[in-house]
Structure 1
């Protein structure tokens, strides 16, 4: 069981929040307490060996049935007891998992009753001991087990059992519970992995491939718009020669409509390209196969390939919010930067930073006296940043506004974190955590600072280039 002094209000261990020395000291105290407990238990060598053998065989055997066989063999060898194991299938139903006898006459299912309870029970020469879960990991089960119970271990004949025998069986079945709990979790994880692998194939077939056809449709639409331009030009030419003024006016209106359709097409196509890149990057098959983000690093023109498409994507939304892009806060240098990175993931890093700027930018006064809502972005090469002859490139997005209320500047990059003074804004607290994951996967670092009148989010990557 978990020590209550080291748990939160939900019963979860908070030792991961402590430093190493505190955790070691806690474990020293727990080991000393366990040594004292075992002195009190006074288990003979045969019982100690039985526990050790159980742990060895529990790690050795595969399959739930073989594990049950190991569990039921221990009481038979030590105390001559036959047994059966019931597993909680849902909150109210126990299902027979196995019997130690060749022919099992036990009921296939049971529900909570005077024998199947949260405490050990002796009934009609049978001993019923609940199989306890590990509360630390109940959230990883299909449902939260009532009373932290995974099942019931039934044994007989039990009239001749001493108090010491019952104590040993209780402690043994506690260990059965923890082992069973982890086996259930591992089985669910294997099912989860199988599902993910199947899902990846379905994504490729049902999402990625159909999405590629949109490009074909866009190309067809583009050719139709080009034809519309040509026809409009011909009509205007003919009208200028022989048509009255009203027809010429309508022709000009047709030309403006055509130009508007093309502009809308270009905007939609730009969003399609970006969304398709994000979709294919996030749903990359290797992410699911390896259980982590996997980089596809190539040489990238930072300005042309990443920043300009993103700025086109956000410019109208910035305008609608009255946000100006102003490099007075510090801006992008003029030189062309080519470096090796995962274009899709780094594009999404900047997309997250621009999305935050869109939501959180506030009015402020610039050093030159202008007042309004401003953002800027930029990059700077840092010589020998990571080590001699290993430069870094620092990239950032800054936006005007009050500083975030943080105890530590890095806590803003934790999953689900929301600063108190922006908690009223919509958001999940996942965006900056994603930024941190991608940057650290590139071997880089993230950071936040408030400089003068703006909030700056930055990251530093190794400056790799050909």
Structure 2
């Protein structure tokens, strides 16, 4: 490092990071937290191909670094740049660091130029305003122009998407080393690599800014949906109440009809009234479930915290979750010729109550029943009978989560070909679709959503192949006070 380095005013201290919220214990209330079961896929012994590939890349990087032959001060400057780039978040501070470090370490003046559009660029940061800007666009490769040395600042493949305009050769800007034509080829190579590190940090800041922009948009969108969809949706409840009142009035008129009213007329009117009542119940039930799902999925806290946030309450699993979803999907199951068979266990008479997020757990069942509609197939039993059915039920497991830590195992079974062994580990992964899904439309999101919600409740998900088909299950913990 040069002995006569110039004194530079210190950068302001970065804004302190907000304190991380204390992580809530995922364990059952009254019990210490325990680690989750290890995922074999996270161990490198299960991913030797990736390990060998990255090991080769590390060795290649070591060999390249040795070939550069950078001196101690050059290495120190790169280390200082990396550390300070993590410390200071703003783009302005990053660009200040970029031009300060060469001056501090090598008494070398440097300027940074950045693209402001597909065909425009401007001086972004410098120590002193130059008397004249370059009369040409700097080249896309390191080069000497006049007395100065230029090196391109390149982004990544998607940097152009973040900026909103295409980047020729991936160049987002340049560094200009004043008097750099007189530098050694080794020092010019050093500044070329320095420009590359600037490009990487610029990309990260652009990505973070775009993410913040997207998050702000989503938060505003949620507020708009709440104001323009959810609140007006509540007005439908008033309409349903009025309709129910009209149907009740019609029932009363039928009961109080004069004795001389023609019997055929009364029968026809009774049929109309019965149909109206049934249609009202179906539409009202659908409205309640849709409203529950909307209010749960569009909960403001989800978007403020960037994750699903549970709002737990005591839930009657049978009356509030399972039965409403069964009735919701019964018409669709009937249309596809799928019977509901409870001979394999069904729901015990004893009610089970859980501390759970009603809206999210209801949607877990909705996803499992939706899959039953799409993927149940006809099978032949050992007795030679053909059947096409789904079944659901649950079992209480006294030690599901350890000694005296009970859980309830919730099953949804469907007939059809079983999922191949090699595909089962991917069933609850985002975007995965088993080969047995055939031509049925799907995104592979449903089971991933199920796993995410169950994980948040401290439960587990799973799959079991059976003689006639497939059983998808979840296990949820029963907390101590739920058993009292």
Shared fold, TM over 0.5: yes
8 Å contact kept, 2:163–2:206? no
Superposed counterparts of 1:270-281, under 5 Å: 270-281=285-296
Matching residue within 176, 183, 186 for 2:208: 186
8 Å contact kept, 2:251–2:273? yes
8 Å contact kept, 1:410–1:448? no
Structure 1 residue 402 corresponds to structure 2 residue 423: no
Superposed counterparts of 1:83-122, under 5 Å: 83-89=110-116, 93-102=120-129, 105-106=132-133, 115-117=138-140, 119-122=141-144
Shift of 1:342: 1.4
More helix per residue: 1 or 2?
A: 1
Matching residue within 157, 164, 175 for 1:153: 175
Q: Supply the distance in 1 between the matched residues of 2:372 and 2:207 (Cα, whole angstroms).
A: 41
Structure 1 residue 450 corresponds to structure 2 residue 465: yes
Matching residue within 49, 57, 70 for 2:76: 49
Q: Supply the distance in 2 between the matched residues of 1:406 and 1:114 (Cα, whole angstroms).
A: 59
Show structure 1 runs of 5+ residues with no match: 1-15
Structure 1 residue 219 corresponds to structure 2 residue 249: no
Matching residue within 221, 225, 230 for 1:208: 230
Superposed counterparts of 1:41-440, under 5 Å: 41-78=68-105, 80-89=107-116, 93-102=120-129, 105-106=132-133, 115-117=138-140, 119-134=141-156, 141-142=162-163, 145-234=167-256, 237-238=257-258, 241-243=259-261, 247-366=262-381, 370-440=385-455
Show structure 2 runs of 5+ residues with no match: 1-39
Shift of 1:29: 5.2
Q: Supply the distance in 2 between the matched residues of 1:392 and 1:196 (Cα, whole angstroms).
A: 36
Q: How many residues align?
A: 438
DSSP 3-state at the match of 1:97: strand
8 Å contact kept, 2:180–2:188? no
Shift of 1:105: 4.8
Quick one: structure 1 residues 202 and 401, their matched pair in 2 at CA, closer, same or farther if it must change by over 3 Å? Answer: same
Q: Supply the distance in 2 between the matched residues of 1:362 and 1:56 (Cα, whole angstroms).
A: 59
Shift of 1:218: 1.3
Q: Higher relative contact order at CA 8 Å, sep ≥6: structure 1 or structure 2?
A: 2
Q: Supply the distance in 2 between the matched residues of 1:90 and 1:20 (Cα, whole angstroms).
A: 44
Shift of 1:128: 2.5
Report the equivalent of 1:20.
Answer: 44
Shift of 1:46: 2.2
Q: Supply the distance in 2 between the matched residues of 1:354 and 1:95 (Cα, whole angstroms).
A: 58
Q: Supply the distance in 1 between the matched residues of 2:167 and 2:383 (Cα, whole angstroms).
A: 64
CA RMSD of aligned residues (A): 2.8
8 Å contact kept, 1:413–1:436? yes
Structure 1-normalised TM-score?
0.85
Quick one: structure 1 residues 397 and 368, their matched pair in 2 at CA, closer, same or farther if it must change by over 3 Å? Answer: farther
Quick one: structure 1 residues 431 and 29, their matched pair in 2 at CA, closer, same or farther if it must change by over 3 Å? Answer: same
Shift of 1:370: 4.2
8 Å contact kept, 1:363–1:401? yes
Structure 2-normalised TM-score?
0.82
Q: Supply the distance in 2 between the matched residues of 1:164 and 1:394 (Cα, whole angstroms).
A: 66
